[in-house]
Amino acid sequence: MKVAVLAGGVGAARFLRGVVAAVDPAGVTAIGNVGDDLEILGLSVSPDLDSVLYALAGRSDEVRGWGRADETWNALESVSELGGDDWFRLGDRDLGLHLVRSEALRRGEPLSAVTARLAAALGVELTLLPATDDRLRTIVETRAGAFSFQEWFVARGHRDEVDRLHFDGADSAAPAPGVLAALDEADVILIAPSNPFVSIGPILAVKAIREALENRRAPAVAVSPLIGGRAVKGPADAMMTRLAGGTAPRQVADCYKGLIDALVIDEADADGAEIPGVRTIVTRTLMDDADGRLRVAEAALEGAAALR
Amino acid sequence: MKVAVLAGGVGAARFLRGVVAAVDPAGVTAIGNVGDDLEILGLSVSPDLDSVLYALAGRSDEVRGWGRADETWNALESVSELGGDDWFRLGDRDLGLHLVRSEALRRGEPLSAVTARLAAALGVELTLLPATDDRLRTIVETRAGAFSFQEWFVARGHRDEVDRLHFDGADSAAPAPGVLAALDEADVILIAPSNPFVSIGPILAVKAIREALENRRAPAVAVSPLIGGRAVKGPADAMMTRLAGGTAPRQVADCYKGLIDALVIDEADADGAEIPGVRTIVTRTLMDDADGRLRVAEAALEGAAALR
């Protein structure tokens, strides 16, 4: 079975582990967010792609919830001591990946090609594609000014209320090689339980990807990132409240208007959750262990199968 | 007292610790070798400057003999796993410095300015200047081909006999700001116990520096890097044998013909060590502790004082 998954960071990484437990990884293509990529200390960092890589390679730190397991922080400590940019947490093992990727990009290798090499080296079996090889950056507009995503999220601790988002470079960004084919050939299209605005939004900002979803032949199922109207982690609920008018399933579905056929929601959100034109699939969506990841993946896949 | 010291890597770093124990560090300027600098993984690495920085900051690993104390190697392990360039040993703490320096150089800051900032951040009291801010690279010519210094030294384990050296960029390299003033204003000029060919040679390949030594007003004293005709570490003895015809004090002095007034040699090399035009100063030159470092520095400084 061929499955295409639009994927953000940590939540998507967990969901994808469920998907590859449910179906053959060889048929799974994850289309990853690059809107929160950044350049720091001369390095090209792709936090969401790396969350997927590390999780699928079994290298992620499950307790901290991000970054690599068995991580150390000595390089950054040295950067701090020497007055360098130390606001973005880069661990030593993680740095090794950024060094390899940054050098390859500087040599002119496209991000999709580097990502494929890194995934192969780490033993990741699904196909991970960046949404685009072109530069695309999420800009968060707030009363305090416009910030790059990481500046807003990490450096300023996402304390500024978001008035608007825009995706720098999206107008001219082309889907990375393989993205449109994956969406076209998919038996099922899934949208991972990621922040609709800053994780999935940048992917859908690539016009040809949005059009591919609008004109999909396969059923598309999104998984809500909210449980009881709250984000498991991060600012999704605050952004939904401010930018979508609320945190009910209907508002999540509205973020994907015309792009999905069904929405997987948590039991806690099931009461009165009818959404015109979108089927709701109710399960427990917390993915805090392998059973949970598989349950959510199977709910989405079975929901899609029922729609075919 | 003002002291200018031409300095290579680890041997020079030990000697400089002796010099700053003997005289006020505020008057000491080290002029460092950049011929063995390299670019790897997108980083600009200056191994000799860093050996001096780490030693003078009390951060060097005295057991391993190079690099930083309390070092870890997780980034490089990750680079290896991902198929990146891993032949040059970069520790995690060391990497932090390379990241900060490389970013500054990429922004257009001269190496001398970055080095001054790093030295200040590490609490190094002497002035450390690179011989030049321009690109200057030691190229080692062997029967197997021509190699950059680190390629020959590290990647090939200095197994190829050296036929000739040349210093790429030396013809157009200008002394870094402060270098000529330090040599001009010095009460004493010292040449540290470093490899005359690959550590001091690149510094002297900068024409204006060589001329400043030729036309010196202050006495100049070199310290031989050989003990009993053998290098304490590294290939200096093999290179002396092949390129200078032997490892006696006379041959060391010949490497600095017209540039020094005295040579500090070890007791083991004292027999029949008369050198026309160069006074010999005999002491025990092994610097394996603070006493040894101070002894060698004082021998050189007192030898210079006797010449004034």
Task: Give residues with Cβ within 8 angstroms of A215, minimum separation 6.
Answer: none
- Partners of residue A100 in chain B, C-beta under 8 Å: 41, 78-79, 82-84
pLDDT at residue number B57? 97
pLDDT at residue number B233? 86
pLDDT at residue number A173? 98
The mean pLDDT value for A123-149 works out to 97
pLDDT at residue number A272? 83
Distance (Å) from the alpha carbon of A193 to chain B's nearest alpha carbon: 29
Structural contact between residues A108 and A114, judged by C-beta atoms closer than 8 angstroms:
no
Paired sense of beta strands A188-191 and A220-223, if any: parallel
- pLDDT tier, A141 (very low <50, low <70, confident <90, very high otherwise): very high
Q: What is the DSSP letter of B198?
A: I
Distance (Å) from the alpha carbon of A152 to chain B's nearest alpha carbon: 22
Paired sense of beta strands B279-283 and B262-266, if any: parallel
Say if the Cβ atoms of A79 and B100 lie within 8 Å. yes
Structure tokens, A168: 């720098």
Under DSSP, is residue B83 helix (H, G, I), strand (E, B) or coil? coil
Alpha-carbon gap, residue A61 to A66, rounded angstroms: 6
Question: Roughly what angle, to the nearest 10 degrees, separates helices B111-121 and B47-56?
Answer: 20
Alpha-carbon gap, residue B272 to B146, rounded angstroms: 37
Max alpha carbon distance in chain A (Å)?
A: 59
pLDDT at residue number B191? 98
pLDDT at residue number A273? 82
- Strand ordering across the sheet containing A262-266: A127-130, A28-32, A3-7, A188-191, A220-223, A262-266, A279-283
Distance (Å) from the alpha carbon of B66 to chain A's nearest alpha carbon: 17
* Domains of chain A as residue ranges with CATH: 3-136+171-307 (3.40.50.10680)
Name the closest residue on chain B to residue A98, using Cα atoms.
B79
Name the closest residue on chain A to residue B84, using Cα atoms.
A100
User: How many C-beta atoms surround the C-beta of residue A276 within 10 A?
Assistant: 6
Say if the Cβ atoms of B79 and A93 lie within 8 Å. no
Task: Give residues with Cβ within 8 angstroms of B3, minimum separation 6.
Answer: B19, B23, B27, B28, B29, B186, B187, B188, B189, B190, B301
**Residue of A75, A106, A121 lying closest to B83 (CB–CB):** A121
What is the ipTM for the molecules in this complex? 0.94
pLDDT at residue number B134? 98
Residue pairs spanning A and B at CB distance below 8 A: 114
| Torsion on CA atoms B48, B210, B159, B251, rounded to nearest 10 | -120
Say if the Cβ atoms of A84 and B103 lie within 8 Å. yes
Distance (Å) from the alpha carbon of A72 to chain B's nearest alpha carbon: 7
- Partners of residue B38 in chain A, C-beta under 8 Å: none
pLDDT at residue number B65? 86
pLDDT at residue number B97? 98
Distance (Å) from the alpha carbon of A21 to chain B's nearest alpha carbon: 25
- Partners of residue B76 in chain A, C-beta under 8 Å: 96
**Is A172 near chain B, with CB under 8 Å?**
no
Distance (Å) from the alpha carbon of A56 to chain B's nearest alpha carbon: 15
Alpha-carbon gap, residue A165 to A215, rounded angstroms: 25
pLDDT at residue number B86? 96
Residue-wise pLDDT tens digits, B130-153: 999 999 999 999 999 999 999 999
**Is A97 near chain B, with CB under 8 Å?**
yes
Which of B231, B190, B214, B282 minimizes the C-alpha distance to B65?
A: B231
Residue-wise pLDDT tens digits, A252-304: 999 999 999 999 999 999 998 899 999 999 999 999 999 999 999 999 999 99
Name the closest residue on chain A to residue B69, using Cα atoms.
A74
Tell me what the pLDDT averaged over chain A comes to: 96
**Is B284 near chain A, with CB under 8 Å?**
no
- Which residues of chain B are modeled with pLDDT < 70? none
Alpha-carbon gap, residue A228 to A21, rounded angstroms: 26
**Which of B38, B53, B74 to mutate: most A Cβ within 10 Å?**
B74
Question: Roughly what angle, to the nearest 10 degrees, separates helices B10-22 and B290-307?
Answer: 70
> What does the radius of gyration of chain B's CA atoms come to, in whole angstroms?
18
Alpha-carbon gap, residue A79 to A74, rounded angstroms: 9
With 0-12 CB in 10 A as exposed, 13-18 as middle and 19+ as buried, what is B39? middle
**Residue of B70, B85, B97 lying closest to A82 (CB–CB):** B97
pTM of the complete model: 0.95
B138: left (phi over 0), alpha (psi -120 to 50) or beta: beta
Angle, CA A292 vertex, CA A287 and CA A297 arms, to 5°: 90
pLDDT at residue number B137? 98
Question: Roughly what angle, to the nearest 10 degrees, separates helices B47-56 and B10-22?
Answer: 40
- pLDDT tier, A157 (very low <50, low <70, confident <90, very high otherwise): very high
Structural contact between residues A278 and A262, judged by C-beta atoms closer than 8 angstroms:
yes
- Partners of residue B121 in chain A, C-beta under 8 Å: 81-83
pLDDT at residue number B63? 86
